[in-house]
Amino acid sequence: MSDKRLLLLNYALFALYGVLTVGFQTSLWVQLLGGFPAPHFWIPILAYWALYRIPREGVLMTYITTFIIGSVTALPLGMFLLINLTLYLAAAGIKAKFYQPGPIFFAFICAAMSLLFMPIHWIYSLVLETNPIVDLEVLNWIAQSTLTPLLAFIVYPIFCIIDDLTQKDLPTEVGRQFG
């Protein structure tokens, strides 16, 4: 397979992960666990691409992910994109300062992004919307921020396998063993 096709396949597989897991979060999770908060399933994609890709690719994947999963929420697409890009920038900023190789740092980045999601959403809502969020779902926020890093440990090897299959350079770190 040519390099271009492999690159496209890499994007497509990550997008497929996004579709499947977000579909799971919005439908099956509800059927199985009712109102119990679900982790942010799409955040590991943003975290992985913020850590292990060049900024141009990472930003492109943030756009792709947002457009794909934007249809399953009433959150306006522009707002969702703004939040995701801010999260991406935050992750890139943390990476620039304190990068550590391995799945633990990946999980830490996922936790930070998940933790930041609601405050960023709330601030943008206050600034940009005429009817901003007034009632913050704090318990949901705590639960989601706790579950997302746990999810990160599960998806990290999957992402490494995708990179391995598409011959993308694996992250040069301890986590390579998962690939």
Partner 1 sequence: MDIKQNNRMLERENAELRAQLGTMTELKLENERLNQLIDFKSRTKMQLLASRVVGQDLVPEHSTITINRGTYHGVEQGMAVLTVGGAVGYILQAELLSSQVILITDRFSAVDALVQRTRARGIVVGMSRELCNLNYLKRGDDVKKGDMIVTSGLDNIFPKGFPVGEVTEVKQSEYGVTQYVELKPAVNPNNLEEVFVVLNAAEEEFVPKSEEAPPEDSKSDDLAIKKEKSALSQIPGGIGVE
Give the binding site for partner 1 (CB under 8 A).
Answer: 22, 25-27, 30-31, 35, 37, 69, 71-75, 118, 121, 125, 131, 133-137, 140, 144
Concatenated DSSP letters for 37-58? PPP-TTHHHHHHHHHHS-HHHH
Least distance in angstroms from the C-beta of 125 to partner 1: 8
Least distance in angstroms from the C-beta of 7 to partner 1: 28
Q: Are 44 and 58 in contact (CB under 8 A)?
A: no
Based on CB atoms, which residue is closest to partner 1, 10 or 21? 21
Q: Which residues of 88-122 are buried (b: 16+ CB within 10 A; e: fewer)?
A: bebbbebbeeeeeeebebbbbbbbbbbbbbbebbe
Based on CB atoms, which residue is closest to partner 1, 80 or 88? 80
Based on CB atoms, which residue is closest to partner 1, 7 or 75? 75
Based on CB atoms, which residue is closest to partner 1, 61 or 160? 61
Least distance in angstroms from the C-beta of 49 to partner 1: 19
